[in-house]
Chains A and B, each alone.
Chain A
């Protein structure tokens, strides 16, 4: 269970959200600049909220001025918007960087169909392959929660659908809270157990708003 309550002043508005994620996929849906990446960064420990509380299972990761657990200690997997693979390491080195258990990682690579890429560098693989490597890398640490920032946005339709299936399968195998960021409404509906509609740093709960946001 991931509980998030964040307030933070951004350049054009105030980010102020409150939500929780059980062992499900929650989609953060909203237009560009609405604060999606900032929310993920706060949960991962890359950015610091001004106030609020972030709790993962029984651990408080952030609480106002009292608690700030550093990124390294949070055990949260993060697939970045542009993947942020280590360009100077092979696929295997990328994935093994935070590895807990080698046989688990090898299975994971089989699952994601990237075993044959193990000695390639990120500059030598396709966008869809990069996305699968980034997901494998984030899960290789056996995290307690997973954050995905528009992991499918750079992919063509066919690859994107495959990616969706893979994510759903991984979630079935690996029951942890997952937050998926997207500004694709169909993707949000297909993958999310719940959708949070974000607009200028606030969560709007009706789908009507979503349509307004998207138009």
Chain B
């Protein structure tokens, strides 16, 4: 058995989730509580990958990162580096499809507590940085964690955009979902079954753990 799909999937999904978590939290914190012109347009763009077919997302990414794409061209000219068909492409596809989930969870998480809790901290002289780490982040944490788990699961399961941007190159871009598809296609049902079981187990344990965790933490300071 070749375990490269498992390792590749875990590696790319973890990196993608990290990127998505940091940018999603920052962006949600900046945008969600404010109202400004063009906010709904920005939010619509952020959420777009959620409603588009993954192939369309993949097509768009090829358009940007492909040899003749805006960024792809720059990378090629400056660093002689082609991103398509590498594991970086797998990460990019995973970031784009899971970002809306993280953003949505984070922006809901930052809106669900009373803004005066933050204002109270400000009136006590706390800096923005301190208020973020001692008030906003801990209060939003349950929602942020849910977003994190969802994003990870989504990144792990990404198929369409990955195939378009990264292709199927054994040992390089063969994530578990791709491995399943091509195993079935080549009639290797044993291998397909194996990977199906692995990915179901991963998804299931992620959800179980999240439920267990949030139950445990909800008990702590629920408003009675």
Q: Do A and B bind each other?
A: yes
Report A's interface with B, CB cutoff 8 A.
Answer: 44-46, 70-78, 80-82, 84-88, 97-98, 121-124, 137-138, 140-141
Q: Are A137 and B114 in contact, with the CB atoms below 8 A?
A: no
Q: Are A137 and B124 in contact (CB under 8 A)?
A: yes
**A72 adjacent to B126 (CB under 8 Å):** yes
**List of B residues within 8 angstroms of A71 by Cβ:** 119, 122-123
Which residues of A have CB within 8 Å of B223? 87, 123
Closest Cβ of chain B: how far from A146's Cβ, in Å? Answer: 10
Q: Does the CB pair B123–A138 fall under 8 Å?
A: yes
Closest to A75 in B: B125
Q: Which residue from chain B places its CB closest to the CB of A37 in the assembled complex?
A: B116
- Which A-B residue pairs are the 7 nearest by beta carbons? A98-B124, A84-B116, A71-B122, A84-B120, A78-B123, A80-B116, A84-B117
Q: How far is B138's CA from A86's CA once the two chains are assembled, in angstroms? A: 10
CA distance A99 to B209 in the complex (A): 38
* Chain B: CB-nearest residue to A97: B124
B152 to chain A, nearest CB (A): 25
B216 located at the interface, meaning its Cβ lies under 8 Å from any Cβ of chain A in the complex:
no
- The reply to whether B114 and A84 form a contact with Cβ atoms under 8 Å apart is yes
A11 nearest CB across to chain B (Å): 14
Could you tell me the distance between the alpha carbons of A88 and B117 in the complex, rounded to whole angstroms?
A: 11
CA distance A73 to B126 in the complex (A): 9
Taking a contact as CB atoms under 8 Å apart, the answer to whether A74 and B123 are in contact is yes
CA distance A141 to B125 in the complex (A): 8
By a CB distance below 8 angstroms, the chain A residues around B116 are 80-82, 84
Cα distance A76–B123 when bound, in Å? 6
- Specify which of A72, A86, A87, A137 is in contact with B122 (CB 8 Å cutoff): A72
In the complex, the answer to whether A141 meets B224 with C-beta atoms within 8 Å is: no
- Check B34 for interface membership: any CB of A closer than 8 A: no
List 20 interface pairs A-B (beta carbons < 8 Å), by A numbering.
Answer: A44-B123, A71-B119, A72-B125, A73-B125, A75-B125, A77-B123, A78-B119, A80-B119, A82-B116, A86-B117, A87-B139, A87-B221, A88-B221, A97-B121, A97-B126, A98-B125, A121-B221, A140-B124, A141-B123, A141-B124
In the bound complex, how far is the Cα of B113 from the Cα of A84, in angstroms? 10
CA distance A86 to B223 in the complex (A): 11
Q: Given A86-B135, A88-B139, are A124 and B224 also a contact pair (CB < 8 Å)?
A: yes
Closest Cβ neighbor of B139 among chain A residues:
A88
State which of B120, B135, B138, B224 has its C-beta within 8 Å of the C-beta of A123: B224
Contact at A123–B221, with CB atoms within 8 Å?
yes
Q: Encode B98-127 as 1/0 by CB contact (under 8 A) with A.
A: 000000000000000110110111111111
When each residue 186-224 of chain B gets 1 if its CB lies under 8 Å from chain A and 0 otherwise, what string results?
A: 000000000000000000000000000000000011111
- Rounded to whole Å, the gap between the CB of A147 and the closest CB of chain B is 9
Known: A97-B126, A98-B124, A124-B224. Is A46-B117 also a contact (CB below 8 A)?
Answer: no
B121 adjacent to A86 (CB under 8 Å): yes
- A78 in complex: contacting residue of B120, B127, B135, B222, CB < 8 Å: B120
Interface centre among B114, B120, B121, B122 (most CB of A within 10 A): B120
Whole-angstrom CA separation of A211 from B138 in the bound complex:
46
**B224 and A88: CB pair below 8 A?**
no
Give A79 Cβ to nearest chain B Cβ, in Å: 9
